[in-house]
Structure 1
Amino acid sequence: MDHLRYSGLPFEEQRAAFLAIVSADPLVHNALARARSLDLPGWLVVSGALYNSVWNHLTGKPAGHGIKDIDLFYFDAGDLSYEAEDAVIRRAAKHFAGLPLPVEIRNQARVHLWYPQKFGQPCPRYTSSSESVGYFASKTHAVGVRFDADGQLDVVAPFGLDDIFSFRITPNRVMDNRETHEAKGARAKGNWPEITVVPW
């Protein structure tokens, strides 16, 4: 199986392949449909469930292999309280009941409030869910998908998709996230031995 068959192709070809793969994956398809009907402001399904599904497809592994949860971002700057986010999380728990994996939901408008306590460094005050994706520890992980106003799947990929299709985990040094980059790289390599982790 040629798992690198999309590596190095122009972005539009990679984008079409990426959307075809993730939309055909039953777990991702279900999660996206439910996220759309939940209709949170600025919502975006991001990261692992997406690129892991691509790697599973290209290496012949079963759907869901190596995926521990589904990350759903939204952006609501109108109420930055913990209570407001918690209410959304509780409402969404019922909405996503029955999915085989947990859905982790975070309001990207309030990340700057808790990030320093959790990670020991500040992070920017994001202006959208899409912007926050550009701050992930590895450029490879910086990808999100949502439905646009016309019901078409839209991709957010600030660093492109070639790292995903090249099975290459590349550091994103915009913040000091070396530890996260290395830990996620090691975990990914355990699930997909084809992966190369670029050193920090």
Structure 2
Amino acid sequence: MIHESRLAKIVRNDSDLMTVLTTVRGLGLNDWLVFSGAVYQAAWNDITGQAPGYGVKDFDVGYFDEDVSWDAEDAVIKCVAAAFEEPLRSRVEVRNQGRVSEWFEAKFGEPYPPIKDTPEALTRFVAPAFAVGVRLEDDDQITVVAPFGLDDVFDMRIRPNPHRPVAKDWERITAKALERWPELTVIEP
């Protein structure tokens, strides 16, 4: 619980991340989370004394819809884009997590069976440290979803997800992270 409170405080101190959370909250997406780099990198920036937003390429927004058609997802993508102004508009990427199983294997060469909700998607991320999402609730509380816990995030440790094959681009992923945060420890597969 201490890690969740600490992460919520870090998130609140990142103005771009809070703008994304506040804006997406107002759109009424089903089962949504902002996850991955924008969240764990915010923690790494806090730990290492970097400015909020350092190293953050984009803001990944996941939601869940059983309509896995491209047209339905595209309508949501356009709705989300219209809610933002630049420079955030081009940095917010939204995807229906219910649709990922439709294209993942063709793009990444590994199977991705359908999931039941957005938090389940986090269990398939490359590393436990990456598998963290946040949502700003209607009462302004921040919900933290981290199926592997937050120890890896706050210990600045990247290790392979024990529940999936090692990512084919593992070395590239970890090398890019180490370039920005040399304080990281990488546990090789």
Q: What range describes the TM-score normalised by the shorter chain of this pair?
A: over 0.9
Mapped contact 2:25–2:138 kept (Cα < 8 A): no
TM-score in terms of structure 2 length? 0.94
SS of 2:78's equivalent in the other structure is: helix
Partners in 2 of 1:85 and 1:17 — Cα distance?
33
Give the match for residue 155 of structure 1: 144
Contact kept? 1:70, 1:103, Cα under 8 Å:
yes
The correspondence for 2:110, drawn from 103, 121, 126, is 121
Query: How many pairs align?
Result: 188
Q: Please state how far the C-alpha of 1:58 moved relative to its aligned partner.
A: 1.6
Identify the match of residue 121 of structure 2 among 103, 109, 132: 132
Shift of 1:35: 1.0
User: Secondary structure at 1:178's aligned position in 2?
Assistant: coil
Please give the secondary structure, in 2, of the residue aligned with 1:38. coil
Further displaced range: 27-36 or 167-176: 167-176
Instruction: Give the root-mean-square deviation of aligned CA atoms.
Output: 1.4
Query: Is 1:54 aligned with 2:54?
Result: no
Name the counterpart of 1:82. 70
Instruction: State percent identity of aligned pairs.
Output: 43
Which of 11, 20, 24 is the matching residue for 2:9? Answer: 20
The 3-state SS of whatever aligns with 2:178 is helix
Query: Which whole-Å CA distance do the structure 2 matches of 1:120 and 1:193 have between them?
Result: 30
- Give the drift of 1:149: 5.2
Give SS of 1:109's match. coil
Q: Which of 181, 186, 189 in structure 2 is aligned with 1:197?
A: 186
Q: Deviations for 1:77-123, whole angstroms, at most 9, x for unmatched residues?
A: 0x211111011111111112234461111100111110111011211
TM-score, structure 1 as length reference: 0.89
Which amino acid counterpart does residue 87 of structure 1 have in structure 2? A
Unaligned runs of 5+ in 1: 1-11
Q: Distance in 2 between matches of 1:177 and 1:106?
A: 23
Amino acid at match of 2:131: A
Match for 2:113: what amino acid? P
